[in-house]
Structures are given as C-alpha cells and as structure tokens.
Structure 1
Amino acid sequence: MIEAILPPDVVAVDLFDDPPADLFPEEEAVISRAVDKRRREFATARLCARRAMAALGVPPAPVLPGPRGEPGWPDGVVGSMTHCDGYRAAVLGRSAQVTSIGIDAEPDGPLPPGVLGEVALPEELAHLRALAAQDDGPSFERLLFCVKESVYKAWFPLTGRWLGFEEAVVEIDPARETFEARLLVPGPVVDGTKITSFTGRWLARQGLLITAIVVPARRQS
C-alpha cells in the first residue's frame, strides 16, 4: 500500500499480519525480554526490511536499533521502518540515489487526550481547525502526528540529533495528499545544499494513515 506514495527509486514492502520471521542472533538479543506484541512488531518489520533488501540485491543483514532507536542499515543502503496495529512496513533505497527516508503509519482516529497539545504549534492548531471545517477527510490531528514522526525519521540520519515536535511546522494539503514540514531550527547541509524543509506524501486507506518522505541524492553532473 505504501508504494502508492513513493518515488520509483526506492523499494517498499508492507504486511498486514505477522507471518513467521527469523531473526539474526544479534536481533534476538535485543528483543529477548520483550512482550509478545513488541516482539511481533520488531520481527515483522525486519522481515519487511529483508524482503526489501532482496529486491535491492542486498544480502540479508541484521537491522539493529541505534541509541535513539534508529535502524542501522548495511553500507550503501538507507531506509525507514514503521509499525502500528495491523500494519508493518519498510522502505529502502541505495545511498547513491537516496539520501534519507522517513515513513510512519498510524491508525486513522483521534489522538489520545492531551497528545495534540504536546505535538502541535499554535499555527498548526489553526491549520487543523481549517482543515476540519472544509474537508470531511481523515483524522487530521493524527495525520499531523504521523507527519512529524516521518520528519524526525528523515532528519535523524542526516544530523544525528533529536528534533522536537515544536521544531518543525507542518502544512497539510488535503487535495494533493502532500505535506511540507518547515524546519524552525538550522537544518543539515546535504550535498552542499542546506535543508530548510521536508516535503512528502500521505494517504488514508483501510483505517490507516501513512506518511512518507524520500530525500533524493543530488545527481552529479
């Protein structure tokens, strides 16, 4: 499903259940004490990742979480994973074509009480009210959260730094099913160009919200 909002130079694999999935010993060590739900999410996301590696022609490799939980990819590969109830996905690309990827999936429903005030800036709250007034669409407050999660996932590999919810302001286009996240802090310099915003696409389907950012590598002339 996620491939519908992705460019052709990445590979996506998603699943709606948890088939049997083997883990590398290093991954098993990470998840050995986890509850069953967490274990299934972890294993199925890595099954998606290894199927995507195979599609790229990359040998299977462990995907271990880093200090901030970010996935560690094989050399020459960039990617992102996500999971929520009933959905797991991985999107991978080769670093020669793609600089960074950020994806997220959330159930299409209201945020838990109190969460919106923690993640949304005043101008975003006004934007959400305008969207709700003019469009009988998905849960835009949950979509905002989903976008900000994908922004962080695209940001972190480029900077190695935390990005707070209040450090990017998001605008959602319901007609084009796109979004822009304008950074409110200095952005990274990638291939000689400073990144000041991230743009991406979103979809609402089968009770899910999915967001994706793919930062292309600058083509050398």
Structure 2
Amino acid sequence: MIEKLLPHGVVAVETFEDAPAQQSFPEEESLVANAVETRRREFMTARRCARDALAKLGYAPVPIRAGPRREPLWPAGVVGSITHTTGFRAAAVAHNSVLASIGIDTERSDRLPDGVEESITVAGESEMLAALSRALPALHWGRLLFSAKESVYKAWYPLTGRWLGFEDARLTIDPMGTFAAKLLVDGTRTDGGPPLVELRGRFIVAHGLVATAVTVPVDATAA
C-alpha cells in the first residue's frame, strides 16, 4: 500500500500483523521499556520493517535508535520514515542521493474525535474539508488532513531540526489522491538546501486505513 505513494528509488516494507518473535537490539528495547505489550510489539514490528527495507538497500541489521523527538535515526547516507497504527506497520527508506527526506503516516480511516479537527485546521481548511465531505461523504477528510500533516512534519523535521505544529502548514487536498502543504513558518534547512516553502504528497485509502506520504527531492523545495 505505502509503496504506491512513493517514487522510484524508495524501498518500502509493510505488514498488517506482528510476528511472534522480533529481532531487536537493547538500544531499541530501552525505548519501549515501560510500554504495554501491544505497544511494544507494534514498535518492534515497525523497526523490523525498517531493517528489512534497509537490507534491500544493502545495509546490515543495525539498531534504529530515536532522536530527541523520537524520530528514527538512520544509518549515514539514508533517509526514511516509520509509521505504525492499529493493524498496520510500515517503513520507507532511500539513499540521500535519491531524496532529501521522506515522511509517511497511516491512521485508521474513521472520524476524528470531537474537537480535534478544530485544533488542527488553519484558515481555509475547514471550508475545504466541508466541501470535500459534501462531494465524497464516505471518506473522513478530517482524518486525512491529520495524517497528511503528520507526514509533512516527518519530512520537515530531519531537514530543519525544528518543531512544526498543525497550525504551521495550510493544506490543499485534491480528492484524486494528492495534497500540497504551504508552510507558514520559516523553512530554512540545517543542511544548507533550499528553504522549504511547500511540500507535496500523496494519499490512499484502503484496508480501513488512510495512508499519506511526503517526499522532498534533493534539489527542490517541494515534492
């Protein structure tokens, strides 16, 4: 499912269930030492997906540690993203000569809890969601917006090292399966690349899930 959203050169591995036994490293175990068993299993399965994807790029198994905001720390020369939600885990990786950054997210395709939509939208987005809901009421567009903004953040953070709130990006969603996020804050990058002004992504709804992905080209400001 995830691979349908990603360009050539990106390796994605996904699963809809947890394996009984997971290869893990002490550096990863410590990240979920206090988690309930279901949370631990989904975390470790997602890490396994990441290692399987890295293997397809030619990398030996390594622990995938977490950074200050719990972002996955990849081997040198790799960019990537991990997602896990109820009934689904996935990872996507690429060489940094292929893409500057990747962000993927998955959510159960159901209605957002009361009050959440209001907290994640900026001017113009509520009207857009209402129009989309009138045209295609079977899809929970608020949930899609939430997931898309999560993918935007996951692609943003490795390049800037800064937090990006839901209120810091304005999305335009095309019901044919794409979206664009206009960034409302300074997009200066720590790697010296061109500032991030707009990020573009794709989405799919399948298997009771909504999945989103954002990729940042090496020499461009938008995916």
Residue equivalent to 2:42: 41
For residues 70-81 of structure 1, the aligned pairs below 5 Å read 70-81=71-82
Report the alpha carbon displacement of residue 191 of structure 1 after superposing the two structures with TM: 5.8
Cα distance, 1:135 vs structure 2: 2.0
Superimposed CA distance per residue, residues 150-204 of structure 1 (whole angstroms, 9 cap, x where no aligned partner): 00000000011100110100111002x0000000011134664222010010000
Match of 1:11 in 2: 11
Residue deviations 1:4-42 (CA, integer Å, cap 9, x gap): 111011000000000121111111122222111210121
2:24 corresponds in structure 1 to 23
- Alpha-carbon distance, 1:106 to partner: 0.3
- Indicate the larger mover: 78-87 or 182-191: 182-191
The aligned runs of 1:52-131 (5 Å cut-off) are 52-131=53-132
1:160-199 matches, within 5 Å, as: 160-175=161-176, 177-189=177-189, 192-199=193-200
The 3-state SS of whatever aligns with 2:124 is helix
Once residues 66 and 119 of structure 2 are traced to their aligned partners in structure 1, the CA distance between those partners, rounded to angstroms, is: 25
Aligned residues: 218
Distance 2:5 2:141 in 1: 18
3-state secondary structure, aligned to 2:30: helix
Does the 8 Å contact 1:2/1:210 carry over to 2?
A: yes
Q: State the match for 1:145 in structure 2.
A: 146
SS in 2 for 1:146: helix
Write out per-residue CA displacement over residues 62-104 of structure 1, whole angstroms, 9 at most, x where no aligned residue. 1111111111111111100001100000000011111100000
In structure 2, how many angstroms separate the alpha carbons of the residues matched to 1:73 and 1:13? 15
Q: Distance in 2 between matches of 1:74 and 1:163?
A: 24
Q: Where does structure 1 differ by over 3 angstroms across 4 or more consecutive aligned residues?
A: 189-192
Distance 1:103 1:128, change over 3 A: same
RMSD: 1.3
Distance in 2 between residues matched to 1:72 and 1:58, nearest whole Å: 14
- Quick check: 1:159–1:188 contact (8 Å CA) kept in 2? yes
The residue type equivalent to 2:5 in the other structure is I
Where do 5+ consecutive residues of structure 2 fail to align?
none
Aligned partners of 2:36, 2:111: CA distance in 1, in Å?
A: 26
- Tell me the TM-score normalized by structure 1: 0.95
